Amino acid sequence: MPLIATKLTPLIPYAIERRLGVAIDAQTRMSLQEGNRSGAPLDCGSAEKERAGRAAFEKLIRQMEMAAGLPLPLKVTVVRKPEANAITLPGGHMYVYQGLVGEARTPDELAGVIAHELGHVANRDGMRTIMQGAGVALMFGMLLGDFIASGSGRQDSFAYELFPRGRGCR
């Protein structure tokens, strides 16, 4: 599946990747918000004392985005998570954890991690991962007689509505 996904990913239009990225971003935001009992917003940079840092971060991101020449616009958000981590989703969505910003000793060190994440965007790694997962689901569906997809019975109900008994195919 990885080889097939690698070959098919470049054929997926960027518009589809962006739409998929928006959906995955919404799920990711909900997941990141879980456990945030502080009452503070998930996104960093909205408080008065954070605005200067946010402006510097956004300047760094715009410079890197221009240098990278990506086919997708970036949407980078620093979130209130203590871990030193960053994640990239399909469609140019990126989350940089506050812990990573705090651990970075220099702006260049932070830029290095962000450059790594930009590589994921440029190489469409998130889209390829989704394609791999879809391929595995398809393979299991074929091997198991569409066991996974037909578990809810909705496909069968839809088919019966389209072709009521006694009408046959003409």
- Say what the pTM is: 0.77
Q: Is residue 167 part of a domain?
A: no
Q: What is the pLDDT of residue 164?
A: 47
* Domain assignment of residue 114, yes or no: yes
Q: Is residue 112 part of a domain?
A: yes
If asked whether residues 90 and 156 sit together in one domain, one would say no
| Residue 90: per-residue pLDDT | 95
CATH number of the domain that residue 77 is part of:
3.30.2010.10
What pLDDT is attached to residue 124?
Answer: 92
Asked whether residue 145 falls in the same domain as residue 93, the answer is no
Domain holding 141, by residue range, is 131-162
Q: What pLDDT is recorded for position 146?
A: 55
User: Tokens 């940089």 label which residue?
Assistant: 96
How many folded domains does the chain comprise?
2
- 31 within domain boundaries: yes
Please tell me whether residues 119 and 93 are part of one structural domain.
yes
Q: What is the DSSP string of 74-125?
A: -EEEEE---SS-EEEEGGGEEEEEHHHHHH-SSHHHHHHHHHHHHHHHHTTH
pLDDT of residue 28: 95
The answer on 118 and 72 residing in a single domain is yes
What is the C-alpha separation between 6 and 10, in angstroms, rounded? 8
The reply to whether 135 and 122 lie within a common domain is no
- Angle at alpha carbon of residue 56, lines to 55 and 58, rounded to 5°: 65
Q: Return all residues near 151 (Cβ < 8 A) that are at least 6 apart.
A: none
Task: Say if 170 falls within a structural domain.
Answer: no
Q: Give domain status of residue 110, yes or no.
A: yes
In a domain, 23, yes or no: yes
Tell me, yes or no, whether 115 lies in a domain. yes
Q: What is the pLDDT of residue 36?
A: 77
Same domain, yes or no: 80 and 29: yes
Residue 1's pLDDT is 64
Q: Are 135 and 114 in a shared domain?
A: no
- Which residues in the chain come in under a pLDDT of 70? 1, 136-170
Spatial CA neighbour of 60 closest among 107, 96, 94? 107
